[in-house]
Amino acid sequence: MTANKYYIGLKPDIQYLPHTDLARVEKAIEFAQKWHQGQFRLSGEPYIEHVLSVSKTVAQMNLDGDAIVACVLHDTLEDTPVTQNDIKKNFGADVLRLVDGLTKLDRIRISSSWLWPIKTSYREVDRYENQVDTLRKMFLAMSKDLRVIIIKLSDRLNNLATLNYLPEAKRQRIARETIDIYAPIANRLGMGEFKGQLEDLAFPYLNPKEYLWLRKLAVPEIDTRKKYLKKVASRLLNKLQQGHLKPVIKYRAKRWYSLYQKLIKYDRDIKKINDLVAIRIIVPTIEDCYNVLGQIHSLWQPIPGRIKDYIALPKPNGYRSIHTTVFCDKGVITEFQIRTPQMDRQAEFGIAAHWHYKEGQSSSKIPKMKLQWVNELTRWQSRVKSAKDFKDALKMDFFSDRIFVYTPKGEVKDLPEGSTPVDFAYSIHSAVGNQCAGARINAKMSSIDTKLQNGDVVEIVKNNKAKPKRDWLKFVKTEHARACIRKVIGQ
């Protein structure tokens, strides 16, 4: 095998792979280079450069050899004469399955007017149906192998970086689609870093005026806030060092797009944004995290109700950390986030952090992560009758924030925010839902339309004479509960 500059460029990023995989990646690069020969991006760079950038991004998440090889080959089926057989023969069935999944996803074009229509005309119905179908494929691909989605998100990230070379209409479509579809998916997989990068690259194209307004408003304020936090941190550091804690402290300005959304909610008043710059205290162990929390509270008074223990009760997308907001020096309301290095990595890469390559483990042994919500989505999407049902359900169940709720035995249920005991009951079993007569939330009798909170322990009081009531349709949140109720009351 001849050394080639593209392989040499990628090599430092994939050192974690075993030698046999490195050789396969090298072979894949030669293969892709041969077939993409003479193809250029609108930016003028050879096509292979795009392939390599995407591979570097994926390698950051330490995905296995098959995934990196598939990444290098990800555009060959679509854009070159290469056949499925060529890929299978040279790189195996697993790589082919990944590349094929990526090629199919590539054909998906989702317009946001479908998800958030301003006005709906009959002519658009056909388009709706088409897009429902493509979304279904997307979810199906996701439930089969999340690596496909992770590579796709990396591909999108790289495409956004060269968006300025595309014609205006195409730019708009890609930017919209990124904010409406890709970023929420990254978020749902706990890939906070990805979500932020995707949104921030798309935002200036989507709304250039607002973007400029925001930068002008926020840049000086972020500076001021960072200076303040550095003073606060040095006081905290002193205190922690007395207790023999050696933290790493990170400052992170809020991402542009998420800052923008928050500002809209807060009358565009930047003084009202407490987490403009986050201060993160990273310590080796979970025990240290709680220790740091205590030290912070001994220095400054915490604001009641603002201590969030996502270590004991992680968010459904896997996010873990302790957050606390205090009246800090000079009375400035300040949020601290406390976590271990592992949690920090998870907050960046989400689900992908679980693929962290372990020495001596063959790629086929890396477990395929299956998420409850992905399975649920694919299960019910086949039952949904019209495109409108599907769209409504999707907006509700997929893009809403989620809560974790527990059965008395500690089994966890992942539900959309605002769910009630009836939703919870149906998530256990339709028979439990149908006989739901009451609920004990954290051991207290509560009405069945109470909005559940993250971490609630819910026990359903059943009565075998009970029946679902039409009224329930007014407060249930999940499409699953709604469909079950309708089935019984006959509507």
Find where tokens 């079950």 sit. 484
Q: Is 79 a catalytic residue?
A: yes
Least distance between Mn ion and beta carbon 405 (Å): 40
Q: Which of 78, 287, 401, 471 is catalytic?
A: 78
The answer to whether 402 touches 373, Cβ cutoff 8 Å, is: yes
Q: Is 287 exposed, middle or buried (0-12, 13-18, 19+ CB in 10 A)?
A: exposed
Q: Are 12 and 21 a contacting pair, CB within 8 Å?
A: no
C-beta of 101 vs 316, nearer to Mn ion = 101
Query: What DSSP designation does 179 have?
Result: I
Catalytic residue chosen out of the listed positions 30, 79, 221, 348: 79
The Cα 439–Cα 293 span in angstroms is: 34
Nearer to Mn ion, 113 or 134 (CB): 134
Window contacting Mn ion (CB under 5 A); options: 149-157, 398-406, 415-423, 465-473: 149-157
Residues 152-181 that bind Mn ion (CB under 5 A): 155
Please identify, using beta-carbon distances, which residue of 73 and 142 lies nearer to Mn ion: 73
The residue among 52, 77, 141 whose CA lies nearest residue 105 is 141
Helices marked H in 243-269? 256-265
Q: State how far the Cα of 314 lies from the Cα of 445, in Å rounded to an integer.
A: 26
Residue 155 Cβ vs Mn ion, minimum distance, rounded to whole Å? 4
CB-based contacts of 47-54 (< 8 A; 24+ apart in sequence): 47/75, 47/79, 48/6, 50/75, 50/158, 50/159, 50/162, 51/75, 52/6, 52/9, 52/10, 53/158, 53/161, 54/151, 54/154, 54/155, 54/157, 54/158
Least Cβ distance, residue 175 to Mn ion (angstroms): 17
Residue whose CB is less far from Mn ion, 76 or 435: 76
Nearest to Mn ion of 155, 459 (CB atom)? 155
49 binds Mn ion (CB under 5 A): no
- Using the minimum distance from each CB to Mn ion, give the nearer residue, 77 or 279: 77
d(CA 402, CA 415): 5
The Cβ of residue 307 has, within 10 Å, a number of other Cβ atoms equal to 15
Which of 21, 75, 199, 200 lies at the binding interface for Mn ion (CB under 5 A)? 75
Number of residues in contact with Mn ion under rule CB under 5 A: 2
Q: What is the length of the chain?
A: 491
Q: Is 78 among the residues known to form the active site?
A: yes
Give least dist CB 99 to Mn ion, A: 11
Segment interacting with Mn ion, rule: CB under 5 A, options 67-75, 76-84, 250-258, 310-318: 67-75
Instruction: Tell me the closest approach of the beta carbon of residue 131 to Mn ion, in angstroms.
Output: 21
Q: Which stretch binds Mn ion (CB under 5 A): 75-83, 202-210, 327-335, 417-425?
A: 75-83
Cβ nearer to Mn ion, comparing 155 with 199: 155
Minimal distance, residue 106 CB to Mn ion, in Å: 7
Burial 5-42 (b: 16+ CB within 10 A, else e): ebbeebeebbebbbeebbebbbbbbbbbbebbeeeeee
Tokens of 324: 């606390």
Positive or negative, the CA dihedral 153, 158, 162, 166 is negative
Positions that interact with Mn ion (CB under 5 A): 75, 155
Active site residues: 78-79
